[in-house]
């Protein structure tokens, strides 16, 4: 996979730069500014821009779970008319993330076809991998933030005064529990599937897969008694878990060899997945066709790049999460929006 080196696009294996002793280690993101309602500093004092309708744009790919987090939050918070979206092709080629047609990135940047153009517009000497999602400032022609964990928290609150949507998916009183769950979910599930799929030694692969399924087993038991990750309220912890679960049987089980069990073999996890998938605004963020095309186009994992026809997934069938009646509101302090 290629990358930028001092602002120049270079072909080569970026994954090699993220490997240590045969194990995959994710490269940290580089752009970490914030958006707040009035442009005051972010929660940790980060430089921030003011929230404005039409000023910002998300550049994403349906294949990418990190990008899907931001699409979910955008829809759940009713930001479809506030923040524009550009969707990349699912396959990563010699030019990295590529858009089928030129995308309008605002008056300063003009039209772009490749994600790396956003990076060099923001930093002409940028060196590193080029990733999605990107939260882009159309007015100033630069990246605001390319860390999905930050972006979902920005979208959670920054635009409330424009939409009137006060749902809070990271409520202060639940933050200790959310943060406690986010750590193992990220380390062993979200990133764990990549550590398995990109491992280049047997030991690294087995360590990643073992930890992944230990956490899935733990989550299966937890969800037997809790409708959502922190109990009664749907939060960002659920968003972060969902994006990996929705890709599991379609891609990670086969392409990444995460095949001790299918997600379908977990009654609580699979029912939990279907409940969230069936909510208004979520289906369109989870394009299984893009997911399969994207993962099975990774050459060093699938040299022939043949996309399997299966598995057959019925994400529309009924779920049983209503058995945990009384444990279901979308977010702390919000109205009950669940209809299933």
Q: Which residues are catalytic?
A: 64, 194
Tokens of residue 185, six digits: 């979910």
Contacts of residue 217, Cβ cutoff 8 Å, sequence gap at least 6: none
Specify which residues 168 forms β-bridges with.
332
Please state, in angstroms and rounded to a whole number, the distance separating the CA atoms of residues 147 and 171: 20
Tokens of residue 241, six digits: 């878990």
Kindly provide the residue ranges of all beta strands, DSSP E only, lying in the chain, ordered along the sequence: 3-5, 8-10, 19-20, 23-24, 34-36, 48-50, 56-60, 84-87, 98-104, 111-114, 134-137, 142-145
Tokens of residue 157, six digits: 């609150």
Whole-number Cα distances in Å, 219 to 194, 226, 332: 19, 10, 21
Question: Is residue 312 classed exposed, middle or buried when 0-12, 13-18 and 19+ CB atoms within 10 A define those classes?
Answer: exposed
CA nearest neighbour of 252 among 317, 327, 191, 197: 197
- For the four alpha carbons of 286, 19, 183 and 249, in that order, the dihedral sign comes to positive
Question: Is residue 306 classed exposed, middle or buried when 0-12, 13-18 and 19+ CB atoms within 10 A define those classes?
Answer: exposed
């Amino acid at each position: 996979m290629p990358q930028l080196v001092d602002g120049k696009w270079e072909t080569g294996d970026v994954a090699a730069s993220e490997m240590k002793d045969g194990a995959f280690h994710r490269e940290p993101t580089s752009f970490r500014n914030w958006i707040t309602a009035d442009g005051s500093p972010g929660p940790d004092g980060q430089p921030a821009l003011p929230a404005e309708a039409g000023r910002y744009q998300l550049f994403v790919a349906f294949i990418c779970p990190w990008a899907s987090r931001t699409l979910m939050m955008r829809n759940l918070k009713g930001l479809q008319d506030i923040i524009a979206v550009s969707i990349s092709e699912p396959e990563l080629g010699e030019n990295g993330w590529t858009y089928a047609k030129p995308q309008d990135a605002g008056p300063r940047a003009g039209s772009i076809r490749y994600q790396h153009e956003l990076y060099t517009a923001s930093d002409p000497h940028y060196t590193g991998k080029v990733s999605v999602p990107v939260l882009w400032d159309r007015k100033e022609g630069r990246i605001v933030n390319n860390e999905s964990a930050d972006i979902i928290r920005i979208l959670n609150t920054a635009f409330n005064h424009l939409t009137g949507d006060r749902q809070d998916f990271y409520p202060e009183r639940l933050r200790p529990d959310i943060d406690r769950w986010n750590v193992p979910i990220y380390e062993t599930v979200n990133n764990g599937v990549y550590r398995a799929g990109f491992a280049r030694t047997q030991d690294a692969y087995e360590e990643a897969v073992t930890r992944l399924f230990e956490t899935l087993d733990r989550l299966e038991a937890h969800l037997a008694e809790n409708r959502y990750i922190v109990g009664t309220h749907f939060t960002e912890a659920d968003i972060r878990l969902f994006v990996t679960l929705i890709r599991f049987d379609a891609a990670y089980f086969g392409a990444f060899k995460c095949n001790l069990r299918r997600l379908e073999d977990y009654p609580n996890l699979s029912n939990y997945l279907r409940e969230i998938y069936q909510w208004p605004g979520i289906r369109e963020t989870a394009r299984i066709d893009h997911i399969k095309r994207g993962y099975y186009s990774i050459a060093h994992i699938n040299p022939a790049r043949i996309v399997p026809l299966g598995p057959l997934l019925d994400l529309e069938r009924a779920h049983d999460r209503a058995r945990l009646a009384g444990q279901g509101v979308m977010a702390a302090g919000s109205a009950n929006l669940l209809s299933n």
